[in-house]
């Protein structure tokens, strides 16, 4: 059973790192239901360095990457 299946969206979870996606939202469903994975496009640009966090401008890394690079 996955922890945190409360419907909130996480951009920092290990699961989002494993799946290499920008965010993961876990939703608890009845145990008799077949598990599903829905993939949806995002409506914002991702950092070109980490491809995880939204970037502030098109040509700059996200805040997290700026901290790492400095």
3-state SS, residue 17: helix
Q: Using 50, 70 and 90 to split pLDDT, how confident is the model at 11?
A: low
Q: Please state whether beta strands 24-27 and 6-10 pair in parallel, antiparallel, or not at all (unpaired).
A: antiparallel
Closest CA to 12 of 50, 39, 66: 50
The tens digit of pLDDT for each residue in 39-62 reads 888 777 778 888 777 665 667 788
Q: Which residue has the higher pLDDT, 9 or 4?
A: 9
Q: Which residue has the higher pLDDT, 36 or 55?
A: 36
Query: How far apart are alpha carbons 15 and 32 in whole angstroms?
Result: 23
pTM of the model: 0.49
Closest CA to 51 of 5, 19, 7, 6: 19
CA distances from 14 to 4, 5, 53 (A): 12, 14, 14
């Amino acid at each position: 059973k996955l922890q945190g299946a409360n419907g909130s969206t996480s951009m920092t979870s290990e699961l989002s790192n494993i799946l290499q996606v920008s965010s993961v939202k876990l939703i608890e469903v009845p145990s008799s239901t077949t598990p599903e994975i829905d993939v949806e496009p995002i409506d914002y640009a991702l950092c070109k360095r980490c491809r995880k966090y939204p970037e502030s401008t098109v040509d700059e890394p996200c805040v997290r990457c700026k901290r790492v690079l400095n």
